[in-house]
Structure 1
Amino acid sequence: MCRWLAYSGEAIHPALLILEPRHSLVAQSLNSPLGAETVNGDGFGVGWYPSTDALMPEPALFHSIEPAWHDENLRELTQAIDSPLFFSHVRAAAGPPIQQTNCHPFRHGRWMFMHNGVIAHAPRLRRDLMMALDPELFPLVHGTTDSEVVFYLAITYGLQEDPVAGLGRALRHVEEIAEAHGVRDVVQGTFAVSDGETIWAFRYSSMHKSRTLYYSVDMPTLQEMYPEVDRLRLFGARARVVVSEPLTDLPGAFVEVPESTVVTIDAGGGYREAPFLRDDAA
């Protein structure tokens, strides 16, 4: 449905990952071998937390309905800013219209969220899902995507206190509403959440056949594996990325995230995996 990446580590220009690798996110917007759709040209977005010396309490966002490969502003922006943690997303619309309010990532306070996948029969379920939102959050849903509704539903269920439990409760509620409507296998996707310090990335679907998700091995190991690759010296020891599909063909550089799993990347570059909503997994 879409492609995305999330980076954490030393501050870098986002262009180093969004534009420059052989299989960069912009390259994947034109040709995505592992995606459900080969082309992801229905808009894009970048969300970033400024470097620590910047006085900005919330992440900044840039959204466009242009295809990522066609937008000169994306190139200018990602080469000019630097950030220790950023999200980027290219969209293949599954029904909701192509408009800026439907572009990922979404933001609430210091929190960012993005999704690759779909909530099956979302228009049929939307009224019940929206009615489950905290009344104070209801007017903050500006677009028409199922992804934005899931984000605010997760906040309703406590994402800001416990991101793993909050998103888990939200997706279970989506499944309960879908079951009441006779909809099976409702949740499909990978999800990313951040508070500016930590990234939580989830691979989950109701049918336990989720969209692809990968993480990079730690940078010191990668630099030791490939000392001849000059490009790797542009990254610090804490650099980590979670991606819909690998950005490079280097063997061993990326590892697939297991099905029904949440991965956590902290500010120090540490990586942890844990089961996510596996209690009834096939």
Structure 2
Amino acid sequence: MCRFLAYSGEPVFLSDLVCAPKHSLVHQSLHADEGKTETNGDGFGIGWYGEREEPGIYRDISPAWSDENLVNLCRQVRARTFFAHVRASTGTATARLNCHPFVHGRHMFMHNGQIGGYHRIKRRIEALIPDSLYDSRRGTTDSEAIFLLAIANGLVSDPVRAMAGTLGTVRDLMKAAGIAEPLRFTALLTDGDTLTAYRWACDGRPPSLYYREDEAGIVVVSEPIDGCRDGWQVVPKGGTLQARRGERAVLIAPADGARKGLGQGQRIAA
């Protein structure tokens, strides 16, 4: 599984969170504590919002721990919202176009998890993506396919309902194909102003997700970047976290318990 980090708030240098902390994302690319694999060396990516409406993006297939360009770029770029991701492939090729985050217009998306048996239903999923969006597909990952299908299902206007419906459709395809492997979906979506973090799985075992919020902004991570859990809150299994710029984050509790996590829930204070 992959590791990732998202930030939204007062502008900061990317290096303050991606590179500098004791257990930074760069460190996690080689020594993750809570992932399925300790090493996440199948590429990396960063995406950030600057002066333009659409985000900038830098991705490569080299391991994050050995890429000097990544470190130098993070030292120079200051952003109000950014994503960073280190990849451990679940079966698709190690290629730049398969590295996260993925961008469509002003929206940016990254994923940690998998569609069990994806190769058996890949063609069926892709057939559901409208031609107007399929032209934007560049890689071969399940993550990018989910992103584009969710956009077709209304992700821009309702990111929780659209994603729940999308994953419900994928789950139906998995069942029809007799796939026993789980669908696990811990993911992040943003348009630069609103951040949505999902922690869902059909078997109640979604990858880890934490957040820390203060007056300056919010940080969402796969695992704490300072090496300890003090001050970090856990996004509950089946839950969704939403944070809009200038407002307190809100947790959406799972609708039917932590097991499925594919439906809408009740808003609760974060």
Do they fold alike, i.e. is TM over 0.5?
Answer: yes
What SS does structure 2 have at the residue aligned with 1:87?
strand
Verify: 1:47 aligned to 2:47, yes or no.
yes
Contact 1:238 1:268 in 2 (8 A): no
| Alpha-carbon offset, residue 278 of structure 1 | 3.0
Unmatched tracts of structure 2, length 5 or more: 261-270
Q: 2:159 aligns with which of 152, 160, 163?
A: 163
Verify: 1:140 aligned to 2:136, yes or no.
yes
Which residue of the partner structure matches residue 258 of structure 1? 236
How has the CA–CA distance of structure 1 residues 205 and 30 changed in structure 2, closer, same or farther, with 3 Å as cutoff?
A: same
Give the AA of the match of 2:105: G
Q: Distance in 1 between matches of 2:155 and 2:194?
A: 13
Which residue of the partner structure matches residue 21 of structure 1? 21
| Alpha-carbon offset, residue 277 of structure 1 | 5.5
Unmatched tracts of structure 1, length 5 or more: 220-236
Q: 2:104 aligns with which of 78, 103, 108?
A: 108
| Alpha-carbon offset, residue 168 of structure 1 | 0.8
| Alpha-carbon offset, residue 270 of structure 1 | 1.4
How has the CA–CA distance of structure 1 residues 279 and 245 changed in structure 2, closer, same or farther, with 3 Å as cutoff?
A: closer
| Alpha-carbon offset, residue 249 of structure 1 | 3.6
User: Structure 1, residues 82-126: CA drift from partner, whole Å, max 9, x if none?
Assistant: 100000000011111111100000000000000001111111110
Verify: 1:244 aligned to 2:222, yes or no.
yes
Q: How does 1:179-258 map to 2 (within 5 A)?
A: 179-216=175-212, 218-219=213-214, 237-250=215-228, 252-258=230-236
Q: Distance in 2 between matches of 1:96 and 1:48?
A: 25
Q: Using structure 1 for the length normalisation, give the TM-score.
A: 0.89
Which residue of the partner structure matches residue 86 of structure 1? 82
Q: Among all aligned residue pairs of Structure 1 and Structure 2, give the percentage whose two residues are the same amino acid.
A: 39
| Alpha-carbon offset, residue 265 of structure 1 | 1.4
Contact 2:13 2:77 in 1 (8 A): yes
What SS does structure 2 have at the residue aligned with 1:126?
helix
| Alpha-carbon offset, residue 135 of structure 1 | 2.0
Contact 1:110 1:195 in 2 (8 A): yes
Q: Using structure 2 for the length normalisation, give the TM-score.
A: 0.93
Q: Distance in 2 between matches of 1:115 and 1:93?
A: 11
Which residue of the partner structure matches residue 230 of structure 1? none
Q: Distance in 2 between matches of 1:197 and 1:36?
A: 31
| Alpha-carbon offset, residue 133 of structure 1 | 0.9
Give the AA of the match of 1:257: V
User: Structure 1, residues 223-250: CA drift from partner, whole Å, max 9, x if none?
Assistant: xxxxxxxxxxxxxx23210000011145
- Larger radius of gyration between Structure 1 and Structure 2: 1
Give the superposed CA RMSD.
1.4
Contact 1:133 1:156 in 2 (8 A): yes
Give the AA of the match of 2:38: T
